[in-house]
Structure 1
Amino acid sequence: MDATHAVRARGITKCFGDVVALDGIDLDVAPGQIHGLVGPNGAGKTTLLGLLLGLAVADGGSLEILGTPAGRSLAAAEGVSGFVDGPGLYPWLTARQNLAALASLRGHDARAAGIDDVLDQVGLTDVADDRTRGFSLGMRQRLGLAAALLTRPRLLVLDEPANGLDPAGKKHVHGVLTGLAERGTTVVLSSHRMDDLEALCSEVTIVATGRVVFSGPLAKLAAENGELDYRLLTGDPAKARRIAAETPGVQVVDGTGTLVVRAPTPALDALVVRLVQAGVALRELAPVVSPLEAAFLTLTEQQETRQ
């Protein structure tokens, strides 16, 4: 057993008939970490999450969850909770009744299950006695998170947890997940929202065509991504454009409107210094595409090209 990892996978394979969903997946997730799982549709993300939740069994390789080897039968490991493909709810029951039914199925007394606590955690106290058939997608996602929290999991596995959330709801859920990680709960989540992953995750794994094409800290991903396009808003666009064109390693991609340059980090830093020394006010400097999204597009396209 490996107590240094909440999840440790080596050479995981999974096929559905002739379709290879996972092809030699390696994955390490440390305890108390929020780990993001990224990939295009059909990359194998949901299959991998299903293995962690005990909804499927790998055909080959080894998988340890919370220090215990995964069994060969369909069952969630002790201390693991979450959902894939959206939470399943009884639409004719209220939010509170849904959680009570789930607690009862698990053999817990509904009154002692902490239902009010988890409803409060996810911000659904005000609608606790409303039937879920009238819930929006974002509300259903939050109720699914509440259901997962009922068991006080040590590993929380979530598929698109921010799907359908408005900005306030997303901020609330982010706070819940961050708080759980700070208290030692490990979170593995998939998302198509790169901004969510960058805000939450310390490490990410990018999967394409059933294989890992990157796994590690976001900072390493940004460093390996090389040159990025950056948008600059300044107090003197014409002067900024001229300075950018004269700075070694900086390429002006678009100078007709908002200034867009392409540069590795050292050259970009040099440009900022030159702008400040020239008295040009720098009001905004931001990547046109986030480092995670840029790397995602590059790595997944490279993997698909090799097929």
Structure 2
Amino acid sequence: MSVIEINNLEKSYGAKNVLRGLNLTIEKGEFWGLIGKNGAGKSTLINILCGTVIKTSGGFRIMGIDDTSIDKAKVRMGIMPDVSELFGDMSGLEFMEYMLALKGHHIRSKDILALFEKVDLAVSLKTKIKAYSFGMKKKIAIAQAIADTPEILILDEPTSGVDPESILHLQNLFEKLNQGGTTIFMASHNLDEVSRICSHISILDRGQFQVQGELQSVINEHTAKIRLQIQCKTPDNFNTSELCKRFAILEASHSSLTFEVKSQDDIPQIIHLLTEQGVSIFSVIPRKATLEEIFMS
């Protein structure tokens, strides 16, 4: 079941085309990571989906609801707002009550405290948001987004500016929410984060999707060659000449061999040739293209 459908979506500011003919379908339960350089159009796309920026042309549907009626979909969505625009004169308690009231919900103080603990936010409910650090503002923005267990969660750079320990805490939280059935669309600069927790990726460049799809399929598609590292012990009379006729050897020592192969199917053949020569093999580690390499290319 498609929960987000983007069709030929475009956004321009005067003569500047920020988004150019975007198409994307997100199915229920998927966890999409949206990556791209600064100025690629990530935040613009997020803001259009959240109804805070008006598209120029094209369209999108969220849970079957047309973008012309986006407010009907927003009550079923969790949206992380721009933390620079939080209500600084509100306390954390007031902010949470206000944001939930916008969706027709009442929330008790004890439930807010439970949400603060869930996002690793240690602060009094009475503290004004203007006294929060940047990372704390990120956490309360996430807390209000997940408060009513939304069907779709839209996040814009949720862990940037957050301390390393809290980053891991939040990543684990997002994974648990996704495992519980929440569909997540997350813009992030953190490629390691996207690689670790997302099931699908979109790479946005100059307003267009250059790459999109299931993460492992994208990696496999962009892996022309596999770097194979073998930890081993070679005998004194070990000779690489036969191996070199068939496979590219990048490095060779008495304790390690590194090959470059075109397919996983080559790995059993290499292991067979090595064991025939009396090589003791301790580990075999195939390395495919990383998300960073795909992004940079």
TM-score band, normalised by the shorter chain?
0.7 to 0.9
**Counterpart in the other structure of 1:304:** none
Cα drift, residue 225 of structure 1: 0.9
- Alignment match of 1:121 (pick from 118, 123, 126): 118
**Counterpart in the other structure of 1:296:** 295
Considering only CA atoms, is the larger Rg found in Structure 1 or Structure 2? 2
Cα drift, residue 91 of structure 1: 3.8
SS in 2 for 1:234: strand
**Counterpart in the other structure of 1:273:** 271
Cα drift, residue 166 of structure 1: 3.3
Asked whether the 8 Å contact 2:232–2:257 carries over to 1, the reply is no
**1:21 pairs with 2:18:** yes
Note the 1:119-198 alignment, pairs <5 A. Answer: 119-124=116-121, 126-129=122-125, 130-198=127-195
Stretch deviating more after TM superposition (103-112 or 39-48): 103-112
- Alignment match of 2:59 (pick from 55, 59, 62): 62
Cα drift, residue 217 of structure 1: 0.7
Q: CA RMSD in A?
A: 3.5
SS in 2 for 1:127: coil
Gaps of 5+ in 2: none
Cα drift, residue 154 of structure 1: 1.4
**1:71 pairs with 2:68:** yes
**Counterpart in the other structure of 1:301:** none
Asked whether the 8 Å contact 1:156–1:186 carries over to 2, the reply is yes
The whole-number CA distance in structure 2 between the counterparts of 1:109 and 1:242 is: 71
The whole-number CA distance in structure 2 between the counterparts of 1:200 and 1:182 is: 11
> Between Structure 1 and Structure 2, how many residues are aligned?
291
Cα drift, residue 120 of structure 1: 2.7
**Counterpart in the other structure of 1:305:** none
The one-letter code matched in structure 2 to 1:127 is V
* Identity between Structure 1 and Structure 2 (%): 23
The whole-number CA distance in structure 2 between the counterparts of 1:235 and 1:112 is: 59
Q: 1:105 to 1:67 in 2, by over 3 A?
A: closer
The whole-number CA distance in structure 2 between the counterparts of 1:79 and 1:247 is: 61
SS in 2 for 1:281: strand
The one-letter code matched in structure 1 to 2:145 is A
**Counterpart in the other structure of 2:262:** 264
Q: 1:27 to 1:233 in 2, by over 3 A?
A: same
SS in 2 for 1:139: helix
- Alignment match of 1:30 (pick from 4, 27, 46): 27
The one-letter code matched in structure 1 to 2:246 is P
Q: 1:95 to 1:40 in 2, by over 3 A?
A: same
Gaps of 5+ in 1: 299-307
Q: 1:28 to 1:218 in 2, by over 3 A?
A: same
**1:39 pairs with 2:36:** yes
Q: 1:73 to 1:142 in 2, by over 3 A?
A: closer
SS in 2 for 1:12: strand
